Amino acid sequence: MTDAPDPIEKASFGYRDVPAAEKAGLVRRVFESVAPSYDLMNDLMSGGVHRLWKNTLVDVVNPRPGEKFLDVAGGTGDVAFRILERQAEAPDVTICDINTAMLAVGRDRAVDRGLLRGLAWATGDAETLPFPDRTFDGYTIAFGLRNVTGIDKALAEAWRVLKPGGRFYCLEFSKVTSAPIASAYDAYSARALPFFGRVIAKDAESYRYLHESIRRFPPQRELARRMRDAGFANVTWRDMTMGVVALHSGWRI
Protein backbone atom coordinates (compact mmCIF):
# COMPACT_ATOMS: atom_id res chain seq x y z
CA MET A 1 0.00 0.00 0.00
CA THR A 2 1.45 3.36 -0.99
CA ASP A 3 0.82 6.73 0.56
CA ALA A 4 -1.43 9.10 -1.37
CA PRO A 5 0.50 11.93 -3.01
CA ASP A 6 0.48 15.24 -1.17
CA PRO A 7 -2.11 17.63 -2.59
CA ILE A 8 -0.64 20.44 -4.67
CA GLU A 9 -0.79 23.78 -2.87
CA LYS A 10 -3.03 26.22 -4.74
CA ALA A 11 -3.08 29.99 -5.09
CA SER A 12 -5.63 32.28 -6.68
CA PHE A 13 -4.85 33.78 -10.07
CA GLY A 14 -7.90 35.89 -10.72
CA TYR A 15 -10.91 33.61 -10.49
CA ARG A 16 -8.76 30.54 -11.17
CA ASP A 17 -6.88 28.47 -8.63
CA VAL A 18 -3.46 27.51 -9.98
CA PRO A 19 -0.52 25.61 -8.46
CA ALA A 20 1.11 28.03 -6.03
CA ALA A 21 4.50 27.47 -7.64
CA GLU A 22 3.15 28.82 -10.93
CA LYS A 23 1.48 32.03 -9.74
CA ALA A 24 4.58 34.24 -9.59
CA GLY A 25 5.42 33.43 -13.20
CA LEU A 26 1.87 34.12 -14.36
CA VAL A 27 1.79 37.46 -12.54
CA ARG A 28 5.22 38.34 -13.92
CA ARG A 29 3.96 37.84 -17.47
CA VAL A 30 0.95 40.06 -16.77
CA PHE A 31 3.12 42.96 -15.66
CA GLU A 32 5.69 42.46 -18.40
CA SER A 33 2.81 42.92 -20.81
CA VAL A 34 1.24 45.97 -19.16
CA ALA A 35 4.41 47.80 -17.98
CA PRO A 36 4.70 50.26 -20.92
CA SER A 37 1.12 51.50 -20.47
CA TYR A 38 0.67 50.86 -16.75
CA ASP A 39 0.59 54.47 -15.55
CA LEU A 40 -1.60 55.67 -18.43
CA MET A 41 -4.03 52.82 -17.73
CA ASN A 42 -4.18 53.77 -14.04
CA ASP A 43 -5.27 57.29 -15.03
CA LEU A 44 -7.89 56.03 -17.47
CA MET A 45 -9.37 53.34 -15.23
CA SER A 46 -9.61 55.52 -12.11
CA GLY A 47 -10.27 58.86 -13.75
CA GLY A 48 -7.03 60.04 -12.16
CA VAL A 49 -8.29 59.32 -8.62
CA HIS A 50 -5.39 56.90 -8.00
CA ARG A 51 -3.19 59.99 -7.73
CA LEU A 52 -5.30 61.27 -4.81
CA TRP A 53 -5.18 57.85 -3.12
CA LYS A 54 -1.39 57.79 -3.38
CA ASN A 55 -1.12 61.40 -2.15
CA THR A 56 -3.18 60.40 0.88
CA LEU A 57 -0.92 57.41 1.48
CA VAL A 58 2.17 59.61 1.54
CA ASP A 59 0.38 62.19 3.73
CA VAL A 60 -0.27 59.44 6.28
CA VAL A 61 3.29 58.08 5.98
CA ASN A 62 4.60 61.62 6.61
CA PRO A 63 8.17 60.77 5.58
CA ARG A 64 10.92 62.64 7.37
CA PRO A 65 14.38 63.42 6.02
CA GLY A 66 16.85 60.64 6.72
CA GLU A 67 14.31 57.88 7.30
CA LYS A 68 14.86 54.74 5.24
CA PHE A 69 11.84 53.64 3.18
CA LEU A 70 11.14 50.51 1.19
CA ASP A 71 8.47 50.63 -1.51
CA VAL A 72 7.57 47.09 -2.57
CA ALA A 73 5.88 46.26 -5.89
CA GLY A 74 6.35 49.90 -6.82
CA GLY A 75 8.35 49.45 -9.99
CA THR A 76 7.16 52.52 -11.90
CA GLY A 77 7.94 54.78 -8.95
CA ASP A 78 4.61 56.51 -8.32
CA VAL A 79 4.71 56.18 -4.52
CA ALA A 80 8.50 56.24 -4.13
CA PHE A 81 8.84 59.52 -6.03
CA ARG A 82 6.28 61.15 -3.73
CA ILE A 83 8.17 59.96 -0.64
CA LEU A 84 11.48 61.09 -2.12
CA GLU A 85 10.21 64.60 -2.78
CA ARG A 86 8.82 64.89 0.77
CA GLN A 87 12.18 63.89 2.25
CA ALA A 88 13.80 66.90 0.56
CA GLU A 89 17.46 67.23 1.52
CA ALA A 90 17.95 63.70 2.92
CA PRO A 91 16.01 61.21 0.77
CA ASP A 92 16.41 57.45 1.19
CA VAL A 93 13.97 55.24 -0.74
CA THR A 94 14.49 51.75 -2.13
CA ILE A 95 12.09 50.45 -4.77
CA CYS A 96 11.79 46.66 -4.85
CA ASP A 97 9.81 44.88 -7.53
CA ILE A 98 9.85 41.32 -8.83
CA ASN A 99 9.29 42.53 -12.37
CA THR A 100 12.27 43.94 -14.26
CA ALA A 101 10.06 45.46 -16.96
CA MET A 102 8.26 47.59 -14.37
CA LEU A 103 11.59 48.61 -12.83
CA ALA A 104 12.88 49.65 -16.25
CA VAL A 105 9.88 51.95 -16.70
CA GLY A 106 10.45 53.39 -13.23
CA ARG A 107 14.14 54.08 -13.85
CA ASP A 108 13.32 55.91 -17.07
CA ARG A 109 10.71 58.01 -15.27
CA ALA A 110 13.18 58.84 -12.49
CA VAL A 111 15.80 60.00 -15.00
CA ASP A 112 13.22 62.10 -16.85
CA ARG A 113 12.31 63.81 -13.55
CA GLY A 114 15.88 64.23 -12.39
CA LEU A 115 15.25 62.02 -9.35
CA LEU A 116 18.62 60.34 -8.95
CA ARG A 117 19.82 61.08 -5.41
CA GLY A 118 18.64 58.90 -2.55
CA LEU A 119 16.85 56.39 -4.78
CA ALA A 120 17.84 52.72 -5.06
CA TRP A 121 16.39 49.91 -7.15
CA ALA A 122 16.22 46.20 -6.33
CA THR A 123 14.72 43.16 -8.02
CA GLY A 124 13.07 41.00 -5.40
CA ASP A 125 10.06 38.99 -4.30
CA ALA A 126 7.83 40.43 -1.55
CA GLU A 127 7.85 36.97 0.08
CA THR A 128 11.66 36.74 0.23
CA LEU A 129 12.98 40.28 0.35
CA PRO A 130 16.73 40.68 -0.35
CA PHE A 131 17.38 42.87 2.70
CA PRO A 132 18.69 42.26 6.23
CA ASP A 133 16.46 42.24 9.30
CA ARG A 134 15.53 45.60 10.83
CA THR A 135 16.68 47.75 7.91
CA PHE A 136 13.84 50.20 7.19
CA ASP A 137 11.84 52.82 9.06
CA GLY A 138 8.88 52.51 6.70
CA TYR A 139 7.47 49.96 4.24
CA THR A 140 4.87 50.84 1.61
CA ILE A 141 3.08 48.63 -0.88
CA ALA A 142 0.42 50.10 -3.18
CA PHE A 143 -1.80 47.83 -5.28
CA GLY A 144 0.74 45.03 -5.06
CA LEU A 145 -0.17 42.80 -2.12
CA ARG A 146 -3.03 41.12 -3.97
CA ASN A 147 -0.56 39.89 -6.61
CA VAL A 148 1.74 37.96 -4.27
CA THR A 149 1.37 34.21 -3.95
CA GLY A 150 1.40 34.16 -0.16
CA ILE A 151 -0.01 37.27 1.54
CA ASP A 152 0.95 36.02 5.00
CA LYS A 153 4.55 35.39 3.89
CA ALA A 154 4.74 38.91 2.45
CA LEU A 155 3.40 40.40 5.69
CA ALA A 156 5.95 38.41 7.71
CA GLU A 157 8.74 39.70 5.46
CA ALA A 158 7.52 43.27 5.88
CA TRP A 159 7.67 42.84 9.66
CA ARG A 160 11.16 41.30 9.41
CA VAL A 161 12.80 44.12 7.43
CA LEU A 162 11.29 46.91 9.53
CA LYS A 163 13.16 48.34 12.49
CA PRO A 164 11.42 48.28 15.88
CA GLY A 165 9.04 51.22 15.67
CA GLY A 166 8.92 50.91 11.89
CA ARG A 167 5.62 51.43 10.07
CA PHE A 168 3.87 49.30 7.47
CA TYR A 169 1.41 50.80 4.97
CA CYS A 170 -0.67 48.91 2.42
CA LEU A 171 -2.86 50.73 -0.11
CA GLU A 172 -5.05 48.21 -1.90
CA PHE A 173 -8.41 47.74 -3.57
CA SER A 174 -10.87 46.51 -0.99
CA LYS A 175 -14.53 45.83 -0.22
CA VAL A 176 -16.90 48.67 -1.14
CA THR A 177 -18.98 49.64 1.90
CA SER A 178 -22.15 50.67 0.01
CA ALA A 179 -24.15 47.84 -1.60
CA PRO A 180 -25.54 49.95 -4.49
CA ILE A 181 -22.11 51.44 -5.19
CA ALA A 182 -20.52 47.99 -4.96
CA SER A 183 -22.85 46.63 -7.64
CA ALA A 184 -22.14 49.53 -10.01
CA TYR A 185 -18.40 49.38 -9.32
CA ASP A 186 -18.25 45.64 -9.99
CA ALA A 187 -20.10 46.06 -13.27
CA TYR A 188 -17.84 48.93 -14.31
CA SER A 189 -14.56 47.22 -13.46
CA ALA A 190 -15.60 43.91 -15.02
CA ARG A 191 -16.23 45.66 -18.35
CA ALA A 192 -13.95 48.70 -18.31
CA LEU A 193 -10.69 47.05 -17.32
CA PRO A 194 -10.65 44.49 -20.16
CA PHE A 195 -11.96 47.12 -22.60
CA PHE A 196 -9.23 49.66 -21.81
CA GLY A 197 -6.72 46.81 -21.72
CA ARG A 198 -7.69 45.75 -25.22
CA VAL A 199 -7.78 49.27 -26.69
CA ILE A 200 -4.81 50.88 -24.93
CA ALA A 201 -2.53 48.08 -23.77
CA LYS A 202 -3.53 45.57 -26.48
CA ASP A 203 -4.00 43.02 -23.70
CA ALA A 204 -7.55 42.44 -22.45
CA GLU A 205 -6.68 39.22 -20.60
CA SER A 206 -4.13 40.84 -18.28
CA TYR A 207 -6.63 43.47 -17.24
CA ARG A 208 -9.31 40.82 -16.79
CA TYR A 209 -6.94 39.16 -14.32
CA LEU A 210 -6.40 42.48 -12.52
CA HIS A 211 -10.16 42.91 -12.11
CA GLU A 212 -10.56 39.36 -10.83
CA SER A 213 -7.64 39.73 -8.40
CA ILE A 214 -9.38 42.74 -6.85
CA ARG A 215 -12.53 40.72 -6.25
CA ARG A 216 -10.63 37.90 -4.53
CA PHE A 217 -8.51 40.07 -2.24
CA PRO A 218 -9.36 39.84 1.48
CA PRO A 219 -11.76 42.50 2.82
CA GLN A 220 -10.59 45.12 5.28
CA ARG A 221 -11.25 43.29 8.54
CA GLU A 222 -9.61 40.06 7.37
CA LEU A 223 -6.47 41.81 6.15
CA ALA A 224 -6.21 43.65 9.47
CA ARG A 225 -6.42 40.31 11.31
CA ARG A 226 -3.69 38.83 9.15
CA MET A 227 -1.47 41.85 9.82
CA ARG A 228 -1.88 41.28 13.56
CA ASP A 229 -1.10 37.60 13.09
CA ALA A 230 2.16 38.66 11.36
CA GLY A 231 3.14 40.62 14.47
CA PHE A 232 1.99 44.16 13.69
CA ALA A 233 0.51 46.31 16.44
CA ASN A 234 -1.77 49.35 16.31
CA VAL A 235 -3.35 47.99 13.13
CA THR A 236 -5.91 50.30 11.56
CA TRP A 237 -7.40 51.01 8.18
CA ARG A 238 -8.99 53.93 6.40
CA ASP A 239 -11.57 53.44 3.66
CA MET A 240 -11.32 55.76 0.68
CA THR A 241 -13.92 56.31 -2.04
CA MET A 242 -16.41 54.26 0.01
CA GLY A 243 -14.06 51.32 0.32
CA VAL A 244 -13.00 51.05 -3.31
CA VAL A 245 -9.56 51.19 -1.75
CA ALA A 246 -8.40 50.93 1.84
CA LEU A 247 -5.20 52.13 3.47
CA HIS A 248 -4.01 49.69 6.15
CA SER A 249 -1.26 50.54 8.59
CA GLY A 250 0.55 48.85 11.45
CA TRP A 251 3.66 49.21 13.58
CA ARG A 252 6.49 46.83 14.38
CA ILE A 253 7.03 47.23 18.11
pLDDT digits (tens, 9 = 90+) for 175-212: 998 888 888 888 877 887 777 678 766 777 877 877 78
Q: What's the rounded Cα separation, in Å, for the pair 188 and 150? A: 28
Q: Are 163 and 136 in contact (CB under 8 A)?
A: yes
pLDDT tens track for 137-147: 999 999 999 99
Q: How far apart are CA 93 and CA 133, in angstroms?
A: 17
On the question of pLDDT at 223 being above 70, the answer is: yes
Q: What is the pLDDT of residue 182?
A: 85
pLDDT attached to residue 134: 98
Cβ contacts of 152 within 8 Å, gap of 6 or more: 226, 229, 230
Q: CA 3 → CA 6, 7, 8, 56, distances in Å?
A: 9, 12, 15, 54
Dump pLDDT digits (tens) for 77-89.
Answer: 999 999 999 998 8
- The H or E element containing residue 80 is helix 78-87
pLDDT at 213 over 90: no
d(CA 251, CA 166): 6
pLDDT digits (tens, 9 = 90+) for 89-117: 899 999 999 999 999 999 999 999 999 89
Whole-number Cα distances in Å, 1 to 4, 149: 9, 34
Residue 11, pLDDT score:
81
Q: List phi, psi (to 5°) of 70.
A: -120, 125
Domains of the chain (ranges, CATH numbers) = 11-251 (3.40.50.150)
Reduced to 3 states, what is the DSSP secondary structure of residue 219?
Answer: coil
Q: Using one digit for the tens of pLDDT, what is the confidence trace for 46-59?
A: 888 999 999 999 99
CB 151 within 8 A of CB 128: no
**Single-letter amino acid, residue 33:** S
What percent of the chain lies above the pLDDT cut of 90? 62
Cβ neighbours for 130, distance < 8 A, ≥ 6 positions apart: 96, 122, 124
Question: Quick check: 18 pLDDT over 90?
Answer: no
With cut-offs at 50, 70 and 90, classify the pLDDT of residue 248.
Answer: very high
pLDDT of residue 2: 47
pTM, entire model:
0.88
Question: Span 162-175, mean pLDDT?
Answer: 96
- pLDDT score at 201: 67
